Structure 1
Amino acid sequence: MTSPTSDVSVRIAWADDAPAIAELQLRTWREAYADLLPDDALPADVETAAAAWRSSLQAPKDARNRVLVALERNRVCGFAITSPAGDPDCDPVQDAELADLTVDPAERGKGHGSRLLQAAVDTMVADRFTRAVTWAIAGDDALRAFLTEAGWAPDTAHRELDLDGEGTTVVKQVRLHTAFS
């Protein structure tokens, strides 16, 4: 006898997903930036974030801007964003960017991240990109290991993001890349 399996999937996000994506994003930012920013420096208004998500989902600036959601039944457990790469050394016709890959911390280890990453790659390939880049916080060993195991590799590019605009809260990021065959 086989054990029951969960009802899990990945699909393109709908405008109705905006509140769930916003809530997940703001909650995971609190964890990701806990050691970098004070709690009150992070956005907390889910309604405002949901409105921004709804607007971007209803009218993306480029047809190749995509948001994918990982679902367990009908509950959003994660999301990924793909778009043409915006780095000056990238070709926006051939190079895509995995702009975000977020999985609910309580849902990690259940395959949502792998499904999201595969769906993101499939989406970028369908959009005729031949390569992709993504940026990761330099100290996020778990994300970098996950991407490396999936075939992504560091490409020596790095940057520093000034989160407070005053140079006192700087996040170092490294870029990873992959080619689609």
Structure 2
Amino acid sequence: MADASVRTATPDDVAEIARIHRDTWRTAYRDLLPEEVLAGIDVAETAGAWAGVVANGQVLVAAEGRWLVGFCVAGPAPAAEVARADGSLPADADTTALVSVLVEPRWGRRGHGGRLLAAAAERLREAGAGRGIAWVPEADRSSVGFYGRAGWDPDGTVRTLDAGGRPLREIRVSGGLTPPPPG
């Protein structure tokens, strides 16, 4: 494998982040989302949304050699995202982070997702977070497995989104932000 790295995204990365977002969703979610939803992902429009998140310093990118291969967005979790099913907030709501890792499938299984999650966890710990959460489609066994290998497990909270007229059930996974054991 060529040199692999993780770094903070810059404004120059926004177009590539948007492309990775579109291409990954079109590949990974082709059986979960309607074709018209996936076809409607516009890179220029998505780049506009990503620009603000990148400007806030909440996006890390993974690279292999000169290629950007994935990204992770991580920051404080909004109350609505961390709330229990009954709407109440856990005691650690103020120190819970919302994380999302996306690696382009053609670059998968090369450790990029793990490096992104580890780098995000380190930053989040330094900022005072103690726990992370992520929402993943329940049927996305690859993502559920990825988070599970990192020690993040479903916490029993689910939500159903309207995905272009098709319900998409997501589960929330939760885990600590402790560094992985050496070795």
Higher helix share: 2
* Correspondence 1:95 to 2:92: no
Contact in 2 for aligned 1:19/1:46 (Cα 8 Å): yes
Write the mapping of 1:21-32 to structure 2, written as runs, cut at 5 A. 21-32=17-28
**Where does residue 54 of structure 1 map in the other structure?**
51
**Where does residue 14 of structure 1 map in the other structure?**
10
Contact in 2 for aligned 1:68/1:81 (Cα 8 Å): yes
In the superposition, the TM-score normalised over structure 1's length comes to: 0.85
Q: Distance in 2 between matches of 1:155 and 1:37?
A: 24
Write the mapping of 1:2-151 to structure 2, written as runs, cut at 5 A. 6-42=2-38, 43-58=40-55, 60=56, 66-86=58-78, 87=81, 88=83, 89=89, 91-98=92-99, 100-151=100-151
- Matched residue count: 168
Percent of aligned pairs with the same amino acid: 35
Residue segments in structure 2 that go unaligned for 5+ positions in a row: 84-88, 179-183
1:36, CA displacement in angstroms? 3.2
Q: Distance in 2 between matches of 1:50 and 1:18?
A: 6
**RMSD over equivalenced CA pairs, Å:** 1.7
Distance 1:180 1:52, change over 3 A: closer
Q: Distance in 1 between matches of 2:46 and 2:69?
A: 17
Which amino acid counterpart does residue 72 of structure 1 have in structure 2?
E
Which amino acid counterpart does residue 157 of structure 2 have in structure 1?
A
1:8, CA displacement in angstroms? 1.0
Of structures 1 and 2, the one scoring higher in RCO (CA 8 A, sep 6+) is 2
- SS of equivalent to 1:34: coil
In the superposition, the TM-score normalised over structure 2's length comes to: 0.84
Q: Distance in 2 between matches of 1:158 and 1:23?
A: 28
Q: Distance in 2 between matches of 1:130 and 1:102?
A: 22
Which of 167, 175, 179 lines up with 1:178 in the alignment? 175
Residue segments in structure 1 that go unaligned for 5+ positions in a row: none
- SS of equivalent to 1:16: helix
Contact in 1 for aligned 2:2/2:64 (Cα 8 Å): yes
